[in-house]
Each structure stands twice: as structure tokens, then as C-alpha cells.
Copies of this chain bind each other. A is one copy, B any other.
Amino acid sequence: MGLTKTIARPRAAAASVQAPAALPLDQILIADCIAAMRALPARSVDMVFADPPYNLQLGGELFRPDGSHVDAVTDEWDKFDTFAAYDAFTRAWLAEAHRILKDDGTIWVIGSYHNIFRVGTAVQDLGYWILNDIVWRKANPMPNFRGTRFTNAHETLIWASKHEKAKYTFNYRSMKTLNDELQMRSDWEFPICGGPERLKKDGTKVHPTQKPEALLYRILLACTKPGDVVLDPFFGTGTTGAVAKRLGRRWIGIERETGYVAAARERIAAALPLDESALATMQSPRQQPRVSFGTLVENGYLTPGAVLTDAKRRFRVTVRADGSLLADGGETGSIHKLGATLQEAPACNGWTFWHHEAGGKLHPIDTLRQTWLLATQP
């Protein structure tokens, strides 16, 4: 399990009545996305990943704000009407997604400059709280053949929680590990989907905008836990489902085109779940059992009377029997509190601030905690 900032809350009684067991897990619903979403229970999925249509004509289909179909699409739609129709459609499915998401769930939406500004505005207007926008830098974008603009070499993703104060999942430590011990940034580079990964039929691509699995891999690894449920209302050829299965997550897909559905089913059936030990990811300290400094003193890892200093030996304190510290100036407190007090800092992590001497060297007392954890954890 990766670090998660959330701890599962007991499901509200009202939600239980909705019979979450009835969720169509690991299935594709062949239906219009808004209609199918309406049939799903409130507060039931952990993440929504959406790759909505980018084009403003919606492939000839338009929706009213209530989600119903607009039958007649004429060529005379002026720009305002076209944007208005796209906005209505966007707000309709985003509102359903908001209802279906658990309170601590998050949503991801991908788009290009044609639609992402409208999506982002709708996301904010519907009460979602944007956490990041992410740039997918394409390693091998299509050049601008006519030389009239900059090569359009990226797409944009929006990551948002349901509410400002939500305790969303973010596997910080996993992301940092994945990026060679540097914080994962908001700009990601992947090749576009091609090669054996690209689904083809009779030599032509099955779907015009198939997304690379690497993109979904990073998203699901970063923001879900094993067993979490991911809903993709624009399932296409099932990249979300294939990666979810590989990573031990549950998925629900909605897709109207039966051609895509058939390709997605075949693809997901062939996907192999990762072995459980491979699925394990870097843990955050917060996932480890808590160890108080007093425990170490009680168990003889440090003796009352032992001397601690900071790394530069500017401050010197003595360990007392109850795990509190005594400074030379008479101040006392916990390892954290006294570290903060002496430095006149607002806060301090005593585990890494205080050191003890052994073998002529200074070691942070956190190494004692790690030793204790190794000795006592199964």
C-alpha cells in the first residue's frame, strides 16, 4: 500500500441502503454516458477518470442542460450556441460524476485547448476543488505541417476533489519514488499511444484518441488504493479498465459505441493483474505504527540521562525518564516541542532534529525508531 492521506471512513447509513454491492464492477455499460451515470448510486466510486469528446460538435450529438438529446443539429449553429451546447453537456456529466463520487473521491479530466477551459470552468462552478492541472508532454507529437502555429505538443489534465476540505488520496511517497526521489511535478512526459499498445483492426486504429496506458498507470497509482473503484464515463477502448485490472483496482466503464466495447472487452480480458508483492508501493511514515519517543526510553534504546544534540551541536539536551527532554537552559518539552522552542521555529520534527552519539558519530534518533520498528513489526 502506498501512502494515503485518507483513512477510509465508515460508509454513511444512507449510502448502505443504496446497496453498493449492486455496483456493476469490472463491467462495461453500453449506454449514453449521462443516462448510465444516473442509474449509479450516490457516493459510490473512489475516482472518476474522463476523456470527454474534444470537438465542439460532439460527433453530431448535442445535449440539453438536463442531459436529454438534441435531435436536430444544423450547420447554422453559431459559435455561441455551439459553446453553450458543449457547456450544457459538460456540466450535465460533471454534475452526475459529482453525485456518484464518494466524498473523499477525486476526478481526473483530460482535454486540449479546444475544450479544457470550458471543462475547468465547469469543474470550479460545480463546487469541485482543483488540486493540480497536469500537462502531458507528448514525446512524439504530430508536427504542425503548415508552419502556422507552435507544434501542439501537450494535453492538459485537471485533478480535482469533490470539495475544498476533502481528504483525498495522494500516494505521495509512491510518486516520489517513481520519480527517482524527487517530488513528482505537474508536467509529465509520455510518448503518444502507438506500437503494439495501439489497438488496430484491419490495419487501421480502432479509436482515434486512444490514451497511453502509462498515463493511466501514473494516475491510478498516485490517487487510488488497491481495491478502489474507478468510473470512466467515456470508456472508449478501455485503457482505464486495462490499467485498473493490472493495478488491482476495480473499474466501471460506460461506452455507447459497440465497436469500441468489443475491442475493450478483448483487451481487458488479456490484461494480467500484477502480482501482489509487485503491487506493493513505498509506504509513508504515516502508514507505519506510531512509536512514541517514550517507548524507546522504556525499552532501553536510550537511557534516561543520555545527551542529545542537533546535527550542528548548537543545542544540547538530556533525556528524562518519561521521554521528555531537558535543555541546559532549563526548558523542557517533548522532542518536537523543545526542538521548536530552542530554534524559535513554529514547528520541528524531533525525530530528525535530535541526534545521539554512537561510534564517534551523530545519528538522528529516527534511526532508533526504525530499528525498533524492524524488531517489533511482523
Which residues of chain A in 289-330 are interfacial with respect to chain B, using CB atoms and an 8 Å cutoff?
Answer: 289-290, 292-295, 297-299, 303-305, 318-324, 326
Query: Do A150 and B120 contact each other (CB < 8 Å), given the known contacts A67-B345, A158-B113?
Result: no
Q: Is A282 in contact with chain B by the CB < 8 A criterion?
A: yes
- The 8 Å CB contact of A304, one of B83, B125, B170, B278, is B278
Is A180 among interface residues, defined by CB-CB distance under 8 A? Answer: yes
Name the CB-closest residue of B to A274: B304
CB distance from A67 to the nearest CB of B (A): 3
Among residues of B, the one whose C-beta sits closest to the C-beta of A124 is B83
A175 at the interface (CB under 8 A from B): yes
Interface residues on A, range: 35 or more
Establish whether residues B120 and A187, one from each chain, have CB atoms under 8 Å apart when the complex forms: no
Q: Among the listed B117, B221, B299, B305, which residue makes an inter-chain contact with A274, where contact means beta carbons less than 8 Å apart?
A: B305
Q: Are B83 and A125 in contact (CB under 8 A)?
A: yes
Contact A279 B292, beta carbon cutoff 8 Å: no
Name the B residues within 8 Å of A298 (CB-CB).
178, 190, 214, 217-218
A187 to chain B, nearest CB (A): 5
Q: Among the listed stretches A15-23, A40-48, A134-142, which one makes contact with chain B, having 4 or more residues with CB under 8 Å of it?
A: A134-142
Whether a CB of chain B sits under 8 angstroms from the CB of A343 is yes
Q: Could you tell me if A336 and B305 are in contact, using CB atoms closer than 8 angstroms?
A: no
Give how many copies assemble into the complex: 2
Q: Is the beta-carbon distance between B343 and A67 smaller than 8 angstroms?
A: yes
- Separation in Å of the A198 CB from the closest CB of chain B? 13
- Supposing A113-B130, A323-B178 touch, asked if A170 and B148 sit within 8 A by C-beta, the answer is yes
When distances are taken between beta carbons in the complex, the residues of chain B under 8 Å from A120 are 113, 116-118, 120-121
Q: How far is the CA of A163 from the CA of B187 in the complex (A)?
A: 31
Pick from B124, B131, B137, B376: contact of A191, CB below 8 A. B376
A294 to B222, CA, bound (A): 13
Q: Which of B121, B139, B154, B274 contacts A118 (CB 8 A)?
A: B121
Given the contacts A117-B116, A150-B175, A347 and B67 also touching, CB distance less than 8 Å: yes
A371 proximal to B (CB < 8 A): no
* Chain B hits for A204, CB < 8 A: none
A156: B residues at CB distance < 8 A:
133, 156
A319 cross-chain contacts in B, Cβ below 8 A: 278
In the assembled complex, 30 residue pairs joining A and B whose CB atoms fall closer than 8 Å, in A order, are: A67-B340, A67-B345, A79-B124, A83-B124, A113-B130, A114-B130, A117-B121, A132-B152, A135-B154, A141-B185, A150-B175, A150-B186, A151-B185, A154-B186, A174-B322, A177-B294, A177-B324, A178-B294, A179-B292, A180-B334, A189-B376, A274-B304, A274-B321, A275-B305, A280-B320, A280-B321, A280-B326, A280-B332, A281-B324, A282-B333
Query: Which 8 A-B pairs have CB atoms at the shortest separation, nearest pair first?
Result: A117-B120, A178-B294, A67-B345, A278-B304, A153-B185, A113-B133, A278-B305, A180-B292
10 further contact pairs, Cβ within 8 A, besides A114-B130, A132-B150: A113-B158, A117-B158, A118-B121, A120-B120, A150-B175, A180-B292, A191-B376, A217-B298, A277-B305, A280-B326
